[in-house]
Amino acid sequence: MILFASDYDGTLNRNGVSQEDIQAIHDLRSQGHLFGMATGRSLLSMRDEITKFDFPVDFVVGNNGGAIQNRHEETLLLKMIPNEIIPSILSHLMTYDLYLYGANDGFKVGRNSFKPKPNFKPTLTGITADEIIQNQRVAVMFASFVNPSDADKCVRELNEMFYGQVSCYSNNENIDIGPFGTSKKTGIDFIVDHLEIDPEIHVIGDAFNDVLMIEGFGGYTVDNGSDEVKRIASKIFPSVADAIHHALDQEK
């Protein structure tokens, strides 16, 4: 059995999800294999995208491994950032020049914006980051920096300051802050253990938060992937569909 996990933004979703990719997902599943998403998005945000583009999944690993659902949208795992460190994280973020910061509780996403971010059209969520933080159920925090080099610097600082409590990842000018020890790889490991299967695992992604997953499973990237990801990927494909077809050929 194949278990195929794909990143979403920049990998499966590149100005939309192509019909070629959707057909490949159907082909994979019709042969008894599993397909799922491994994304930094919240569960609700990812489910909205699945509905929008109408493609099937057997699982969703959201929040970079901190939130997991099965094919029936039942939540199997939802980890939270310790409430006592959130004010200190916010204080540190505020020392930088930010476009915005945000938080999600695993489902709802809230943002607080400081200045317009070029080429960014946020989905209106009807809730602010502060409201989610006040509810004391924060699964992920995120921020977008005016200076992309500040994002890398801030990630290093937060990982050092809150070691053992959070894991932080950067992607260009953006950072994600989640519960310690979570990654897309740990999320896929959880799915395998939960289903009690021993599959051939194939993964594909394009950015820094995909590195542990790609390294851990000898995974792939797409031709628009970052240079760092291309250096560690075992293969580079034009599309997710091409990667799925390769996995099916290997299985035969």
Structural domains present in the chain: 2-78+183-251 (3.40.50.1000), 83-179 (3.30.1240.10)
Burial class (CB in 10 A: 0-12, 13-18, 19+), 141: buried
Rounded CA gap, 188 and 221, in Å?
Answer: 17
Question: Among all chains, which residue has been given the structure tokens 């930094």?
Answer: 40
pLDDT of residue 124: 56
Provide the percentage of residues in the chain whose pLDDT is more than 90: 86
| Residues 6+ away with beta carbon under 8 Å from 186 | 65
Provide the percentage of residues in the chain whose pLDDT is more than 70: 97
- The Cβ of residue 38 has, within 10 Å, a number of other Cβ atoms equal to 30
pLDDT digits (tens, 9 = 90+) for 124-135: 566 888 899 998
pLDDT digits (tens, 9 = 90+) for 164-200: 999 998 888 999 999 999 999 999 999 999 999 999 9
pLDDT digits (tens, 9 = 90+) for 76-97: 999 999 999 999 999 999 999 9
| Residues 6+ away with beta carbon under 8 Å from 14 | 222, 224
pLDDT digits (tens, 9 = 90+) for 39-70: 999 999 999 999 999 999 999 999 999 999 99
pLDDT of residue 15: 93
Rounded CA gap, 122 and 29, in Å?
Answer: 33
What does the buried/exposed string (b/e) look like for 146-169 if buried means 16 or more CB atoms within 10 Å of the residue's CB? eeeebbbebbeebbeebeebbbbb
